Amino acid sequence: MNGSGAAVAAGPIAMRRDAATWYGYLLLAFFTFLLNIQGNILPFLQRELALSYGLVALHSSAIAAGMIITGLTGERVIGRLGQRPTLAIGGIGAAAGALLLCLAPAAWASIGACFLLGLAGSLIPSVVPAMLADIHGRHRDRALAELSAACYVFAVMAPLAMGASLALGLGWRGAVLAGVVIGLSILVIGRRAAIPDAPTGPTAAGRLPAAYWAYWLLLALVVAIEFCVLLWAPAFLERVVGLAPATAASTAAVFALAMLAGRLAGSALVGRIPPAKLYAVSLVVTILGFGLYWGGGSPWIAVPGLAVIGLGVALLYPLSLGLALEAAGPRGAAASARFMFAVGLAILIAPFLLGAVADRVGLANAHLVIPVLAVVALLGLAAARRLAKRPGIG
């Protein structure tokens, strides 16, 4: 751990957000902006390039595939290049992917651009969580909660930027290019931030412990829950709850707004409540919210239920990161690199699994996948805590 992290960990000093902290927050938020604006881009690409629904789906699959590859290889990249160059390559590569998407003349080019976006851009979240843990020591969980809040601010900004760009007559490319300019500006402004080196040598050697992999699985489960709700809420509100298509699409934003509110408010709770207890409570809130959402039968109950789900899910991702990094110990850099493998798998598989189930049993019944994932996560949390308390495991 570097000097600043040790100083924070040594005593009851308030959390201090240095330039490297803000650089990590904003760079990952930029990548989140590019990911979240994809849903707004794809309908325009479908019309411009005359894409089938299958080819449209391949764009998100390409991003997820890039994430998975980075999750498998990111540790070696970080170890060879160092954290600062890896962050720069991730930011520049994500910007390049977005620019190529704007220039794509056909499906092969737009899908390739999405693959580059996922492959290069996911180097950023492969570095940032471990970097923040190193900088902030005992305040790690709060830093990760603030990181997630910053990312969700940019996630909410993505559709707003698209709407503004369309209203100004700049087209969908205007919003993407604005995001690219912001990302490159973050890279330029943060180029002199004091980025700590990734741990190397004997303390960082060896396998990741079993407890880490248990939390890694939890990370995949909670990302799966988030994306199942995020991607399928508009269809559920329309076809099951009975809202008009346009109303359903706009009302689904309640989930994202609740996630943002939960992460902003939750950052104050992290550090005051034990992470495992806060995690369990969040999962229970998620399940209760789903009960209202799924069984309410009317918009007046389903929509508040969707908001409760958002509040429950809000802290699960940052808490998963914190618990996994704690379990990894000195292997934090390797642990952080593996996170994107879990995220990529969850994004690639879970929403499509729900859709496949819906084709067989209907959309409403297929949504029962969500509470099943939450219950499995509760059981997994208990198993992970037991593994973390057992010495010499993994």
- Taking only the tens place, the pLDDT of each residue in 6-25 is 443 444 456 677 788 888 88
Q: Kindly state whether residues 186 and 218 are assigned to the same domain.
A: no
pLDDT digits (tens, 9 = 90+) for 326-375: 888 777 767 777 888 888 888 888 777 877 788 788 888 989 999 999 99
270 & 382 share domain = yes
Share of the chain above pLDDT 90, in %: 30
Q: Indicate the residue among 198, 229, 254 that finishes a domain.
A: 198
Q: Which of 144, 165, 198 is the last residue before a domain boundary?
A: 198
Percent of the chain with pLDDT over 70: 91
More confident residue, 88 or 363: 88
Q: What is the mean pLDDT of residues 109-132?
A: 90
Q: What integer is the mean pLDDT of 304-332?
A: 88
364: in domain: yes
Is 1 domain-assigned? Answer: no
Domain count, the chain: 2
Contact in structure between 2 and 134 (CB atoms under 8 Å): yes
Q: Are residues 107 and 150 in the same domain?
A: yes
Please check whether residue 360 is in contact with residue 177, taking contact to mean a CB–CB distance below 8 angstroms.
no
When pLDDT is averaged across residues 111-133 and rounded to a whole number, the result is 89
Asked if residue 220 and residue 187 are part of one domain, the reply reads no
Does residue 230 share a domain with residue 162? no
Could you tell me the pTM of the whole model? Answer: 0.75
- What's the pLDDT tens digit per position in 34-53? 987 876 787 788 788 887 76
pLDDT score at 14:
62
Q: Residue 391: which pLDDT band, with cuts at 50, 70 and 90?
A: low
- Are 192 and 81 in a shared domain? yes
* CATH number of residue 212's parent domain: 1.20.1250.20
Q: Is residue 194 part of a domain?
A: yes
Clarify whether residues 220 and 363 are in a common domain.
Answer: yes
298: left (phi over 0), alpha (psi -120 to 50) or beta: beta
Mean pLDDT of 220-245: 85
What does the alpha-carbon distance between residue 136 and residue 253 come to, in Å, rounded to a whole number? 33
pLDDT at position 199 is 52
Structure tokens at 91: 């930011």
Q: Are residues 186 and 58 in the same domain?
A: yes
Q: How confident is the model at residue 101 (pLDDT cuts 50, 70, 90)?
A: very high
**Pair 113, 186 in one domain:** yes
For residue 252, which amino acid is it? A
Domain of residue 149 covers 14-198
Q: Which long-range contacts (CB under 8 A, 24 or more apart) does 42-51 make?
A: 44/171, 44/172, 45/104, 45/110, 49/104, 49/105, 49/106, 49/107, 49/110, 51/107
Give the Cα separation of 156 and 266 in Å (integer): 17
- Same-domain pairing of 181 and 255: no
Verify that 263 and 285 share a domain, yes or no: yes
94 and 237 in one domain?
no
Q: Is residue 4 part of a domain?
A: no
